[in-house]
Amino acid sequence: MTAAAAYNRRMTTTRLLNLLRPVVLLACALPLAALFWAGLHGQLGSNPVERILTSTGDWSLRLLLATLAVTPLRKQLGLHALARWRRFLGVWSFVYALLHLAAYAWLDLGLDLAEILRDLMTRPLITVGWLALIFMLPLGATSTNAAIRRLGAQKWQRLHRLVYLVAILSVLHFLLKKAGKHDFAEVWVHAGLLTVLLGWRIHDKWKNGGFAGFFSAGPHGCSHAPGPGGKSSHPMGAQIAPITFHRKRP
């Protein structure tokens, strides 16, 4: 394949992904629309609250895993336009997580604070779920361009590495929920997918020079590996000249 043909193919794929983006964005709302329609027509089954809890929780986890799948697919397949999908998938996962919380606290427990606290302290399922949501809150709150500008790209990226912890806690929450019914088929699927996605990131990081600078957050980080010409290699790909301090002579 010639360079021109390869370029034309990449451009065609990019245009297709850009066209599909609003379709996928709207498709993320379909489970919510289906719940709303079923509620209006009395088709939520014998336990409507359980149906809402299950649907919102399942879709939050699925969309969270889809968010984590964007980067491996983008890098492995060269689908760079997929990067624009990552944020809205994460935001939709956050929306379903908030709806899941609302269904639990409002529809299931009637906003009984004492009962909510009792659950939090005595039920591991609820404790893990709350932890996942707490760590998800700063991710949802900083999902805008203004937040990226305010924090700076490096600090924003470091903050959003919390998504890995959120994903692990979410799968654990799902496991504890299914354990009561001894139904682990879906759990292994989600856990296996998460293992692959996290394993790919570890391998990719190691292949590209290890973990030097992985936790650095700006000019105060001291773990950037030196690049060509003695400049340090920044995690974002920029070349930053080393800072030299000179003591002023008296």
Query: How is the chain split into domains, by residue range?
Result: 3-208, 213-250
Residue 246 pLDDT exceeds 70 = no
The reported pTM is: 0.81
Q: Residues 153-191: pLDDT tens digits?
A: 999 999 999 999 999 999 999 999 999 888 899 999 999
Residue 232 belongs to what H/E stretch?
A: strand 232-233
Share of the chain above pLDDT 90, in %: 68
Confidence of residue 7 (pLDDT cuts 50, 70, 90): low
Structure tokens belonging to residue 124: 């591991």
C-alpha 13/C-alpha 1 separation (Å) is: 16
SS3 137: helix
SS3 217: coil
Residue 197 pLDDT exceeds 90 = yes
Q: Residues 77-106: pLDDT tens digits?
A: 888 889 899 999 999 999 999 999 999 999
**What distance, in Å, lies between the first and last C-alpha atoms of the chain?**
67
Structure tokens belonging to residue 221: 């980080």
Higher pLDDT, 208 or 250: 208
